[in-house]
Amino acid sequence: VVLSFGGEEEKKRTVKHPIAVFFHVLFRTLSILLYVFASYIFSNGFVELFIIIILLLALDFWVIKNITGRLLVGLRWWNKVEEDGTSTWVFETKKSAPSAGAEVLIFWSTLICFPILWIVFFFTAALKLAWMWMLIPAVGIALNSANVIGYLKCRKDAGTKLRNMAGQFIGQQLLKQALNTTTQPQT
């Protein structure tokens, strides 16, 4: 009889941070669903709906910018305003290996797809001449696009740093090898 205590046959999870993935998708999905089905939930209360969706969008922005970006793809960004009023983008990249492939796919696909949905809703409201209803997608576009731009710049910066580090490492190795061949006595 062979007993398994769980350590020998531990299955590798495809998602390392399930709670982070859940919240990464939760607030943006709730805001979209609430916007789409608002007329069924709130009969006359545009102001209440507006406040609830804006709060969900703000929570979504904060969670993605400060938590899930760091956990799921190992990237973090912020915009720092100097004392002289100039704006500086600051990017950080996790030094260890990136998260599981499923997490990365979920992060980037939702990061890109949801702003596209808000753009569709914006133009749909414009075609219906529903000016009040254009406000919510406009805020959704602004907050979601800020995260998209921040993470795309962060990813680009991380790739540049990685290429520079690889180039420096190769250069150092070539220099060491050249120095070793010139300092070794010829036989």
Per-residue pLDDT in tens (0 to 9) along the chain, 187 residues:
454 455 444 445 577 888 888 988 999 999 999 998 887 776 777 888 889 999 999 999 999 888 888 888 888 887 888 889 888 877 777 776 556 687 788 888 899 999 999 999 999 999 999 888 899 999 999 999 988 888 888 877 655 554 554 555 565 665 666 666 666 665 5
Q: Say if CB 125 and CB 137 are below 8 A apart.
A: yes
pLDDT of residue 182: 61
| Interior/surface letters 140-174, b for 16+ CB within 10 angstroms, e for the rest | bbebbebbbebbeebbebbeeeeeeeeeeeeeeee
Q: Say if CB 91 and CB 77 are below 8 A apart.
A: yes
pLDDT of residue 10: 43
CA distance 25 to 110: 7
pLDDT of residue 33: 93
Q: Is 16 exposed, middle or buried (0-12, 13-18, 19+ CB in 10 A)?
A: middle
Nearest CA among 71, 60, 72 for reference residue 146: 60
CA distance 61 to 169: 37
Q: Is 69 helix (H, G, I), strand (E, B) or coil?
A: helix
Using the 8-state DSSP alphabet, how is residue 13 labeled? P
pLDDT of residue 174: 59
Q: Say if CB 93 and CB 158 are below 8 A apart.
A: yes
Alpha-helical runs (H) found in 1-130: 18-36, 38-41, 46-63, 101-127
State the residue for tokens 């960004």. 77
